[in-house]
Structure formats: structure tokens, C-alpha cells
Amino acid sequence: MKKNNLLDIAAFSPDLLQSPSAWLGHLPFAAWVNHEVSPKIFVELGTHYGHSYFSFCQSVVEKGIVTKCYAVDTWQGDEHAGQYNDEIFSGVNAYNEEHYAEFSQLLRMTFDDAVSYFADESIELLHIDGLHTYDAVHHDFETWLPKLAPGAVVIFHDTNVREKNFGVWKLWEELQARYPNNLEFVHSHGLGVLQLNNAQDNKKLEWLQPNSPEKQRLIHYFAALGSRQLERYDLNELRQQFALLNQAMAE
């Protein structure tokens, strides 16, 4: 584990913090793990407003990582995220073009359609955050598994949600037994992180090892950093409401 990276991430401030998102509490970890893995190719399945994706992209710029980033989404919604119009995609696309076009590409298509655009064993970091039923997330993982490089790291959001037909928690329990090098954050709806078993020695992440003394410290550390981002968002919302109230009173 890169100690300086762990200290530096305490100062990480996401540039995009505008819309309510269940991912806000994990944004510092996104930036940190991206630097830890330093993937040549990063893929996110399910992007919505782009909070998680653009935190990964921001870390590429701030840490000088040589990474190609790809966000895959139809930007039409689903039964869990709800349905939405083209305004969300237009906003995400404009933000991407302004800040990250040199290394980031949005693939507006289904996950199944996008898989053929990547070579086998090419993706070193994968974030799965699409439809959260058990069948859907299981299908996504197994479909993209051949595209993962040896020792790739995979991230699953919503491992701690057990309502509305969410089934990520069930798949996560199965994968924990299958891939013993893993870690789970329970805050902000839960986030599961695992490394494939076929990592080369120089690619093995010690903090994911079953008996790692760092694991519990990381869980508490990033829960605290995540709380700061949630507080930042709430404070920004209050400031905007206060500004609107002052304007209304002045009028």
C-alpha cells in the first residue's frame, strides 16, 4: 500500500458534487484505489450523474496516472435508478468533454453491447453499478470476467442494500468465498472490493488479504472521509437554499 497516497487522499476534494448520489460517501476511496491500482484501462458499468466516474477521472489527472477511462451506460435509467431524459447524458457528456476528453470516453449503449469493444484480459479496474437485482449483477460480472486482466480489481456498489429487489449483497457473499482477497465498506449503501485470484506477486494488494491488519483501519478511515463529502454536499445545499431565500426576501 502506498502510504503517501493514503495520507494525500485526505485532502481529496471531488470537483463534481452537485446531485444527490448514493456514491458520495465513497468518492475519496474511488480516487485512492485508482492510484493504488494505476490501471491502464478502467471501465465503469453504470454512471448516471457521473459522481463516481469523474472521481476516478479526477485522480488520473491529479496523480498523473496513464489510464484510459470508459463509462458505459444507456443513460435511460432502470427500475432502481428510475427513468430519465437526455438532459442527464447531455450534462455528463459536456462535463467529460470539458475536463477529461483526452483519456475518457462515454459509451452510450448496454453493458452487453459494450463488452465486445474490449480485448480479453485488458481491464485492470472494473466498477459495476448497473441494475442491482441478483440476476443482473451476476450476469454483468460473469459477462465481463473474461475481459479482466490477471489480478484485476472489481468494485460493486450497494452491497449493503436489502430492499427493492436489490441482490448485490447475495452475489457479494458468493464472491467473497470465491475471491478471498476482498474488503467491504458498509457506509453509503455498501461497497465491495475484490481482487482476482490470479494476480502476479508484484500486483497483489496486501490490504485485501484476508488477515491484513490494515483492512479494518481502511474501513474506518474511508468511512470518515466519506462523511466529510456528505457534509460538504449538505453544506452546499444549505448555502444555495440560503441564497435563494435572501433573493426572495430582497424581491
pLDDT tens readout for residues 59-115:
999 999 999 999 999 998 655 555 567 888 999 999 999 999 999 999 999 999 999
Q: What is the pLDDT of residue 87?
A: 87
Q: What is the pLDDT of residue 5?
A: 72
Query: Is pLDDT of 2 > 80?
Result: no
Query: Which DSSP string do the residues of 227-250 spell out, in sequence order?
Result: HHHHHHHHHHHHHHHHHHHHHHHH
Tell me the percentage of the chain whose pLDDT exceeds 90.
70
Over range 4-28, report the average pLDDT. Answer: 77
CA distance 154 to 171: 13
- Max Cα distance, the chain (Å): 66
Q: What is the pLDDT of residue 248?
A: 67
Q: What is the pLDDT of residue 230?
A: 75
Best-predicted range by mean pLDDT (2-6, 70-74, 233-237): 70-74
Task: Tell me the per-residue pLDDT of 198-213, one tens digit each, with 9 for 90 and over.
Answer: 999 999 999 999 999 9
Query: Is pLDDT of 57 > 60?
Result: yes
Report whether 140 contacts 152 (CB < 8 A): no
CA separation, residue 187 to residues 26, 149, 219, 235 (Å): 8, 28, 9, 20
Q: State how far Cα 242 lies from the chain centre.
A: 31
Task: Please return the burial class of 90, using the count of CB atoms within 10 Å of its CB with bins 0-12, 13-18 and 19+.
Answer: exposed
Class of domain 21-223: alpha beta
Average pLDDT, the chain: 89
CA distance 127 to 125: 7
CA dihedral 167, 52, 67, 37 (to 10 degrees): -60
Best-predicted range by mean pLDDT (23-27, 160-164, 216-220): 216-220
Q: 93-116 burial by CB neighbour count: b if 16+ within 10 A, else e?
A: bebbeeebeeebebbbeebeebbe
Tell me the percentage of the chain whose pLDDT exceeds 70.
86
pTM of structure: 0.88
Task: Tell me the per-residue pLDDT of 158-184, one tens digit each, with 9 for 90 and over.
Answer: 999 988 889 999 999 999 999 999 999
CA separation, residue 79 to residues 18, 32, 133, 140, 228 (Å): 23, 31, 10, 16, 30
